[in-house]
């Protein structure tokens, strides 16, 4: 049973929350693959790219925080 099963989520939100969960799961896997490749090749990715992803992450968290405060 996932933690989502323990939370009362309105039926309208369930499909989009599931999609976000799936996307976040994939994003974590991609990030780990990028890390592994950088370690294998001893070649870091540009800091600007990391900052761009951080901004995207912050935007996601801000939107979810706003949704949680409704």
Residue ranges of domains in the chain: 3-68
pLDDT at 7: 79
What percent of the chain is modeled with pLDDT above 70? 91
Banded model confidence at residue 31, pLDDT cuts 50, 70, 90: very high
CA distances from 44 to 59, 61, 62 (A): 25, 26, 28
pLDDT at 1: 41
Mean pLDDT, the chain, whole residue set: 93
pLDDT at 8: 87
CB-based burial, 25-39: b 16+ in 10 Å, e otherwise: eeeeeeeeeeeeeee
DSSP one-letter code for 46? P
In tens, the pLDDT along 36-68 reads 999 999 999 999 999 999 999 999 999 999 999
């Amino acid at each position: 049973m996932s933690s989502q099963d323990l939370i009362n989520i309105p039926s309208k939100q369930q499909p989009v929350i599931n999609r976000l969960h799936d996307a976040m799961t994939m994003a974590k896997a991609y990030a780990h693959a990028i890390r592994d490749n950088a370690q294998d090749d001893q070649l870091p990715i540009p800091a600007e790219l990391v900052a761009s992803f951080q901004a995207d992450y912050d935007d996601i968290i801000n939107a979810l925080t706003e949704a949680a405060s409704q």
